[in-house]
Amino acid sequence: MKDYYEVLGVSKDADDSEIKKAFRKLARDTHPDANPDDPGAEARFKEIAEAYEVLSEPSKRAAYDRGDAYAVEDLFSSFGGLDDILSQIFGGGFGGGGFRRQQRRRGADLRVTVAVTLEEAFTGEQRQIQYRAPSECEVCQGSGAADGSERVTCATCRGAGQVQTSRATILGSMMTVTDCPTCRGVGTTVENPCQACRGAGRVDSVRELTVEIPPGVQDGTRLKLSGRGGAGEPDTPPGDLYVDVRVRPHDSFERIGDDLRAAIQIDMAEAALGTAVSLARLVGEDIDVDIEAGTQPGTIVRIRGEGMPRLGRRGHGDLYVEVVVSVPQGLSSDEEDLLRSYAELRGAAVAEGSRRRRRRR
Ligand SMILES: [Zn+2]
Ligand SMILES: [Zn+2]
């Protein structure tokens, strides 16, 4: 069994006010509403609420201290139970009446993927996208009610959208709050449903949208378009649309963060004597790369400010050019003669020439 005292960070003889204080602080820090990007927050929050639920109730705490076993997860099969606890502690206003209900009562978030080339990622662009989404029914303007009729307050929940039910547990009866089964949490119902959407207020449709792909966009960048997701239940806001950007790999440029890497090939003589090489830029005019005399194979030349634009900031990354030095093959006899003279001057121990060349000499 979990150590609830440890979960709340209080001692075994902590009094009620200490337990309450510890819970209030932990609940604020770990409440899923305050940690929307942390998938573990809900589990931690449940554990804290569970510990508080047991330790704040003298009879449950006594049973826990005795080591009595009971099915505690039963208490939290519905988040309504937690909402009840929270409103006891914080008053009704915490999290705007319960995060579960809030999450349910808006349209669905949607995700689409857009693939761009590295050139497009460099310049940024406007991309036309199509996606399927639940959209407000045009016939009833999202109300779900047929022409001439209106939505009426749900008789089952009297507009609250939720109903309280009493459930028997080992620890006695527990009040839990669940979405109203009649109106599915909306609070209103239609008497005369719209024919086009069968009263849902929404229909599936294909939408078209122009998405602004920003310069410097990275593989995996997620763009959020608020309110462009699915339409929700009547009188609820729509969800958001997330556009995941994939940047396709490039044949001659490798991207590392905001920097680019490329390679140029030069001849052995060019490496030894120095040269200038024209390199095709990713976007724009060619760029001259200066190769100093005596450049070694594998040397990386850094060209500042010629990398990718920095996403959402000024400036560019750098361009790193690797120098690949090619050793000549298939030498003509003139070339071979020159290289052999060179080898002699350098005192290099080169192999004897081929039979063909020897005959011709
Ligand atoms: Zn309709
Ligand atoms: Zn209802």
Determine the distance separating the centroid of ligand 2 and the alpha carbon of 104, expressed in angstroms: 14
Determine the distance separating the centroid of ligand 1 and the alpha carbon of 27, expressed in angstroms: 41
Q: Does residue 56 form part of some domain?
A: yes
Determine the distance separating the centroid of ligand 2 and the alpha carbon of 134, expressed in angstroms: 22
Q: What is the C-alpha radius of gyration for the chain, rounded to an integer number of angstroms?
A: 35
CA distance 73 to 83: 15
Structure tokens at 345: 């001057």
Q: Are residues 305 and 346 in the same domain?
A: no
Determine the distance separating the centroid of ligand 1 and the alpha carbon of 202, expressed in angstroms: 6
Any residues with CB less than 8 A from the CB of 251 and at least 6 apart, and which? none
Determine the distance separating the centroid of ligand 2 and the alpha carbon of 235, expressed in angstroms: 14
- Which positions of the chain have pLDDT values less than 70? 1, 33, 68-104, 169-171, 354-361
- Nearest ligand to residue 196 Cα: 1
- Nearest ligand to residue 182 Cα: 2
Q: Does residue 185 form part of some domain?
A: no
CATH number of domain containing 287: 2.60.260.20
pLDDT of amino acid 282: 94
Query: In degrees rounded to 5, what are phi and psi of residue 45?
Result: -65, -40
Determine the distance separating the centroid of ligand 2 and the alpha carbon of 85, expressed in angstroms: 23
Relative to beta strand 259-267, strand 319-326 is parallel
Q: Are residues 43 and 99 in the same domain?
A: yes
Determine the distance separating the centroid of ligand 1 and the alpha carbon of 135, expressed in angstroms: 10
Determine the distance separating the centroid of ligand 1 and the alpha carbon of 137, expressed in angstroms: 5
Q: Does residue 132 form part of some domain?
A: no
pTM: 0.60
Q: Are residues 281 and 320 in the same domain?
A: yes
pLDDT of amino acid 231: 92
Q: Are residues 8 and 100 in the same domain?
A: yes
Structure tokens at 131: 């996606």
| Maximum CA extent, the chain | 109
Determine the distance separating the centroid of ligand 1 and the alpha carbon of 157, expressed in angstroms: 23
CATH number of domain containing 66: 1.10.287.110
Determine the distance separating the centroid of ligand 1 and the alpha carbon of 147, expressed in angstroms: 9
Q: Is 353 helix (H, G, I), strand (E, B) or coil?
A: coil
Determine the distance separating the centroid of ligand 1 and the alpha carbon of 107, expressed in angstroms: 16
Q: Does residue 287 form part of some domain?
A: yes
Determine the distance separating the centroid of ligand 2 and the alpha carbon of 74, expressed in angstroms: 25
Distances (CA, A) of 119 to 285, 294, 316: 13, 34, 14
Q: Are residues 262 and 343 in the same domain?
A: no
Q: Are residues 342 and 288 in the same domain?
A: no
pLDDT of amino acid 38: 76
pLDDT of amino acid 87: 53
Domain that holds residue 260: 254-326
CA distance 242 to 261: 30
Determine the distance separating the centroid of ligand 1 and the alpha carbon of 206, expressed in angstroms: 17
Number of domains in the chain: 3
Q: Does residue 175 form part of some domain?
A: no
Q: Does residue 18 form part of some domain?
A: yes
Q: Are residues 71 and 43 in the same domain?
A: yes
- Nearest ligand to residue 201 Cα: 1
Determine the distance separating the centroid of ligand 2 and the alpha carbon of 212, expressed in angstroms: 41
Q: Does residue 306 form part of some domain?
A: yes
Q: Are residues 262 and 337 in the same domain?
A: no
Determine the distance separating the centroid of ligand 1 and the alpha carbon of 200, expressed in angstroms: 7
pLDDT of amino acid 200: 87
What are the E-state strand segments in 95-171? 110-116, 125-136, 151-153, 162-169
| pLDDT 10s digits, 257-285 | 999 999 999 999 999 999 999 999 999 99
pLDDT of amino acid 93: 39
Q: Does residue 187 form part of some domain?
A: no
pLDDT of amino acid 92: 40
